[in-house]
Amino acid sequence: MSSTTPQPPADDVPRPPEVVRRLALLWDPPRPSGRGRRARLTLEDVVGAGTAIADTDGLDALSMRKVAARLGVGAMSLYTYVPGRTELLDLMIDRAFAELELPPADAPWRDGLAAYARAHWELFQRHPWILQTNMWRLPLTPAVLDAQECGLRTLVDTGLPERQVVEIVGLVDAFVRGLARSTVAEAAEKDASGQSNDEYWTSMSSFWADWFDPGRYPTMLRIWEAGGFDAEATPFDASMERLLDSVQMAIDRARDAR
């Protein structure tokens, strides 16, 4: 490939044998064979320990050694249950998405899509590390596909062309993730402030005082002074309503075109 064409990292595009092995554990869970030494743990234990670590300390703190230590087990023992860290993360994501309380199939599209978005929103609040996974897509796990199926189902009978259904669900996903990201970031900063005796905010305000050039960023200054950046009331619902309005418009337009 030409060196001028940007290439995403090969690491995230599994090579042939890998792509199957990576998902085998999820779609074809191994049943205990009865023979051989008894297992001290279950796969669920391992995934749960990983999730607990990621929930409290973030994804960077999730290492095989720490998961093993939390379970009182040698690091390499984990590899009996899980082929590697990548697959452990896939399993954690699947387990997390299985927690989603998805709307029923017969809900009106607007209620269904709103509930779909809100369920994700709450999930990301509970497991912010999902937003830290820097994969290109979510893994193709059962629970992730369940969620996708649910999202698509809300719109598939509205008369929208199939391609637009996919687009819109993608837009909703991106919106929820984006907003959850900044909300979590805000919470993290608030937390840092509490822990470090407001030195963090001192540093930050000195940044704004010393380096922020109001002449260069007049709009930001103006919005700041008008309180436009005070997001204590998260704008999730308002923005979501606006998004749903635009979906309504798309549906009306699709109906008119027929």
Partner DNA sequence: GCATCTCTCGTACGCTGTACTGAAACTAGT
Partner DNA sequence: ACTAGTTTCAGTACAGCGTACGAGAGATGC
Q: Supply φ then ψ for residue 242, to 5 degrees.
A: -60, -40
Site string for a second copy, 167-196 (x = CB under 8 A): xx-xx-xxx-xxx-xx-xx-xxx-xx---x
Position 146 contacts a second copy (CB under 8 A): yes
Q: How far is CA 59 from the centre of its chain?
A: 12
The window from 20-28, 77-85, 115-123, 246-254 that contacts DNA (CB under 7 A) reads: 77-85
**Cβ–Cβ under 8 Å, residues 132 and 188:** no
Position 75 contacts DNA (CB under 7 A): yes
Q: Find the binding residues for DNA in span 190-219 (CB under 7 A).
A: none
Q: How far is the CB of 15 from DNA (least distance, A)?
A: 13
Residue 241 one-letter amino acid: E
**Cβ–Cβ under 8 Å, residues 129 and 102:** no
Q: Which is nearer to DNA, 63 or 182 (CB)?
A: 63
Three-state DSSP class for 100?
coil
Q: Find the binding residues for a second copy in span 36-65 (CB under 8 A).
A: 52, 55-61
Q: Look up tokens 């005082």; give the residue.
A: 209
Residues in the interface with DNA (CB under 7 A) total: 26
**Could you say which of 85, 110, 177, 181 contacts DNA (CB under 7 A)?**
85
User: CA 222, CA 225: separation in Å to the nearest integer?
Assistant: 5
Position 133 contacts DNA (CB under 7 A): no
Residue 171 one-letter amino acid: L
